[in-house]
Structure 1
Amino acid sequence: MPELTSRRRLLVLAICCMSLLIVSLDNTILNVALPSMGRELNASVSGLQWTIDAYTLVLASLLMLAGSTADRIGRRKVFMAGLVLFTVGSLLCSLAPSLDLLIVFRMVQAVGGSMLNPVAMSIITNTFTEPAARARAIGVWGGVVGISMAAGPLVGGLLVDSVGWRSIFWVNLPVGLAALLLTWRYVPESRAPHPRRVDVVGQLLIIALLGSLTYAIIETDLVFAVIAAVALVGVLLYEPRRREPLIDLRFFRSAPFSGATVIAVAAFAALGGFLFLNTLYLQDARGLSALEAGLYMLPMAGMTFICAPLSGRLVGSRGPRLPLLVAGTTMAACGVMFAAFEAETSDVLLFTGYVLFGIGFGMVNAPITNTAVSGMPRAQAGVAAAVASTSRQIGQTLGVAVIGAVLAAGVSLGTGSPAAFVAASRPAWWVITGCGLCVLVVGALTSGPWARGTALRCAGRLETATEGGGGGDGRGVGRIPDV
């Protein structure tokens, strides 16, 4: 990538953030629209789960393929293709006549979305090469998630209440087209000097693993659980034998990198479950309109908006430990408030819980991204960013699947009143509490001196293997900083 001026780098960051905005906005708006969508399309709880998980599942399955493809044929080219597909998919979703077709069109959106966030992150990584500047840029990137959370419920509520749920997909059209034109005009093309080869078998194993695992959880199907286990074994046995695997398992010898992956899954599982539970509670149990439900969620969105850039600055100046500890503590505290103290029964407790979750989610995003990208070769920035993005999507997919299944198991208690919903959802809140504790414990274990030592040793072994031709990809690895 040619050297860019400071103003041009900021413009590239803004364009990349536009892609994150429409993808994140799409998720938050969709959650607000779920009850209205369910009534019109006569969807069950599992049907509503699939409108979310069909998207996140396809996204998670294709992210690493999209990242490596972008490294190979050009990041700008793949990014623009993703914008086209995502925009077309959004239009199709707005026209869907049935739940089944809506799910199919959501999958079209996901194919486009898989070419956006990880590729945008690799563009940012190659644009902001200085570690502190990159951390600040990632903080801005995380702040866009906060903007989407703040705007999503309000915009979605207004659209659902005034025009109908189909209009929530229209928001993506002007933003997607604007981002496409700006990318064509201002984002320079870049690619890895020696990109990895396509790993067809590895890609198929990943699709089989994620798809069967999600189906097994939502539909309680033992056969698909066995398929998921077999696919996992296949990944563990096949990938290390490839010279250029889809997932280089050696990177998981770095505790910070492995920790970032686990934390991403736990944090985004909590997010997926949190949004799913609260959307159904506020609208179905309390009887609020979509706009009123969006207003109720503002404390969480506002704190995410405030804390995300703050977390980026903390990671850049002090490392990821403090943001991760704060994130794990506040997310777990939020779960306990709902599970043990029935925070839904009091607006004061409800809003307190929302504030705590917003702080936690705002703090967790920047450490995940910075640690994962820093611990991987910069030449494979697309794959590196895709690993972090894949972990997020896996987490959100599993969060909606598991918590939706837990809620469905208790739905016989009835969800026609707030008290009945509180009773049915209590086990789900304990799951969210467990996710917060996982962020706290894993964050503490993988951000200290011992973890930094494993990262440095991992980098040294990979460099030695590369120099000696012992199964490396011939490209070496970037320095893993003291994070």
Structure 2
Amino acid sequence: MVVAGLDTTIANVALPSIRQSLNAPVSGLQWVVDAYVLVIATLLLFAGSVADRFGRRRVFQTGLGLFSLGSLLCGLAPSLGALVAFRALQAVGGAMLNPVAMSIVATTFPEPKERARAVGTWGAVAGLGGACGPVLGGLLVSGLGWRSIFWVNVPIGLLAIGLAQRFVPESRAARARRFDPLGQLLVVTFLGPVTAAVIEGPRHGWASPLVVGLFVLAAVSVCGLVLTESRRAEPLVDVRVFRSPAFSGAAVIALLVLTAVGGFLFLTTLYLQEVRGYRALHAGLLTIPMAAAGAVCATVSGRVVAARGARLPLVLAGLLLTVGAGLLAGSGPSTGAGYLVLAYLLFGAGFGLAGTPMTTAALAGLPRDQAGVAGAIASTCRQTGGAIGVAVCGSLVASGVPAATAWTVLAGCGAATVPLGLLSTGRRARYSGGRSSEQAMDVAR
């Protein structure tokens, strides 16, 4: 998970260098980030079900191998198009990491309080990688160039393959679900066109046939997904679990929180290096507070969820995200470093607090025997949010809209988390969530 956390932040630090080296427009930078995030989002559900069927450790190791190969090729990419393609290959492996790791945690710690603490530790480890990413990325970009940020994943990935073989027990579902190729196709044709339309809208025009066609395809796909999956005995996406307010609330919150985080990373990188003129290392050092606060608060959140439930950390997370992004909406070319660090600390703390309650709610929405699918749904919402954040904020920048507008949008995502957190953790939501979980168990049986 250090590898996954590292790749979340290390690539963003290198975006300005990639832009200069490969003569990439803003939309090209968006695709460097979103090619990775989007492919992961579209394959997570499939990866979770494959892990439940063929073995979680085996799929986890396969993912590490593909991730390492994709990283190596990214470092050798001769053009922007090749880099985007190799980022997609890297993401195929990445799709096998997060949900499978989450399902390993869920099956290893069946007791709810222990699982909450374990998820908190899991989030802290991923946060540790995120905290190291800006500094390591800055050092590598400044000393060896942007290509080295991808090569660093290779030895870590190979080491993780060996450690997984030695220490991670193999596990699989007692009765795995059947493959659902139509459901997988509809997920791809829903998430892909939405993101592509938002990225390409400023360049082609929002009323252009291409952009309108992409939105129409996405709308048709999501309608088809709901209709077909609700009729299947063993669907890829069991839409019935979304009847649970707790599960649906966690899914929407994950989407909003990661939209804010994805937009934060994209905007911050461009602001620090292109507006403020900082070198990659200096920019990386300034973003450490965000990732470090996230890692620390993920551990705290796990303990709070285990002791008092998800409501307090979710509401506090929304407030902190709102204040952090709101402060950044007031930043400019001469804003003091202390002001920025405070905003980054608040924003990172909010992100860290949100992780564990979102994850535990998602895991509670499906039977434990389908932990891979539960983890995949939660991770899909996160990755989709990250892709949307980059796409929306990048489109606003490309359209010439003031950066304060983009930050205000991200603050709105944080603010929306507060009422959703209250609604999804109330007594009625918990009761409905328990009933939905039992019904899903009956269906699985």
| Structure 2 residue 120 is matched with structure 1 residue 139 | yes
Q: Is the 8 A contact 2:393 2:406 kept in 1?
A: yes
Give the AA of the match of 1:452. R
| Structure 2 residue 380 is matched with structure 1 residue 409 | no
Match of 1:201 among 156, 165, 182: 182
Aligned to 1:9: none
Residue 249 of structure 1: how far off its partner (Å): 0.7
Residue 407 of structure 1: how far off its partner (Å): 1.3
CA–CA separation in structure 2 for the residues paired with 1:344 and 1:201:
52
Aligned to 2:85: 104
Aligned to 1:187: 168
Aligned to 2:424: 446
Match of 1:313 among 303, 307, 326: 303
For structure 1, list consecutive stretches of 5 or more residues without a partner in the other structure: 1-19, 412-423, 467-471, 475-483
What is the correspondence of 1:333-348 to structure 2 with a 5 Å cutoff? 333-340=323-330, 345-348=335-338
Aligned to 1:222: 212
CA displacement 1:25-68 (0-9 Å, x = unmatched) = 01201000000011000001000000010011100000010000
| Structure 2 residue 396 is matched with structure 1 residue 396 | no
CA displacement 1:284-325 (0-9 Å, x = unmatched) = 111100000011112212211221100011111111111101
Bigger mean CA offset, 184-193 vs 216-225: 184-193
Give the AA of the match of 2:274. D
Instruction: Indicate how the Cα distance of structure 1 residues 185 and 461 shifts in structure 2: closer, same or farther if over 3 A, else same.
Output: closer
Q: SS of the counterpart of 2:444?
A: coil
Residue 341 of structure 1: how far off its partner (Å): 6.5
CA–CA separation in structure 2 for the residues paired with 1:129 and 1:427:
44
Give the AA of the match of 2:316. V
CA–CA separation in structure 1 for the residues paired with 2:281 and 2:316:
30
Residue 349 of structure 1: how far off its partner (Å): 2.3
CA displacement 1:254-297 (0-9 Å, x = unmatched) = 11111110011100010000010010000011110000001111
Match of 2:231 among 241, 255, 262: 241
Residue 88 of structure 1: how far off its partner (Å): 0.6
Q: Is the 8 A contact 1:89 1:106 kept in 2?
A: yes
CA displacement 1:371-429 (0-9 Å, x = unmatched) = 11122111011001001111100000011001111111116xxxxxxxxxxxx211101
Match of 2:279 among 283, 289, 295: 289
Give the AA of the match of 1:304. G
What is the correspondence of 1:273-288 to structure 2 with a 5 Å cutoff? 273-288=263-278
Match of 1:431 among 409, 416, 427: 409
CA displacement 1:165-188 (0-9 Å, x = unmatched) = 000012111111111011122222
Q: SS of the counterpart of 2:230?
A: helix
Aligned to 2:258: 268
CA–CA separation in structure 2 for the residues paired with 1:185 and 1:460:
35
Q: Is the 8 A contact 1:343 1:349 kept in 2?
A: no
For structure 2, list consecutive stretches of 5 or more residues without a partner in the other structure: 202-210
Residue 345 of structure 1: how far off its partner (Å): 2.3
Q: Is the 8 A contact 2:314 2:417 kept in 1?
A: yes
Residue 145 of structure 1: how far off its partner (Å): 2.8
Give the AA of the match of 2:247. F
Residue 21 of structure 1: how far off its partner (Å): 1.2
Aligned to 1:74: 55
CA–CA separation in structure 2 for the residues paired with 1:27 and 1:384:
22
Q: Is the 8 A contact 2:193 2:217 kept in 1?
A: yes
Q: CA RMSD in A?
A: 1.3
Give the AA of the match of 1:245. P
Instruction: Indicate how the Cα distance of structure 1 residues 461 and 384 shifts in structure 2: closer, same or farther if over 3 A, else same.
Output: closer
Match of 2:147 among 148, 152, 166: 166
Structure 1 runs (4+) deviating above 6 angstroms are none
CA–CA separation in structure 2 for the residues paired with 1:356 and 1:231:
38
Q: Is the 8 A contact 1:63 1:114 kept in 2?
A: yes
Bigger mean CA offset, 296-305 vs 275-284: 296-305
Q: Is the 8 A contact 1:70 1:382 kept in 2?
A: yes
Q: SS of the counterpart of 2:179?
A: coil
Give the AA of the match of 1:149. G
Bigger mean CA offset, 130-139 vs 453-462: 453-462
Q: Is the 8 A contact 2:327 2:343 kept in 1?
A: yes
Q: Is the 8 A contact 2:7 2:130 kept in 1?
A: no
Give the AA of the match of 1:354. Y
CA–CA separation in structure 2 for the residues paired with 1:78 and 1:112:
9
CA displacement 1:206-233 (0-9 Å, x = unmatched) = 0000111111110111110111111111
Give the AA of the match of 1:231. S
What is the correspondence of 1:299-310 to structure 2 with a 5 Å cutoff? 299-310=289-300
Q: Is the 8 A contact 1:93 1:106 kept in 2?
A: yes
Aligned to 1:354: 344
Aligned to 2:28: 47
What is the correspondence of 1:460-479 to structure 2 with a 5 Å cutoff? 460-462=438-440, 466=442, 472-474=443-445
CA–CA separation in structure 1 for the residues paired with 2:331 and 2:68:
43
Give the AA of the match of 2:371. A
Q: SS of the counterpart of 2:14?
A: helix
CA–CA separation in structure 1 for the residues paired with 2:334 and 2:251:
31
CA displacement 1:112-163 (0-9 Å, x = unmatched) = 0111111111111111111111111111111123212221000000000000
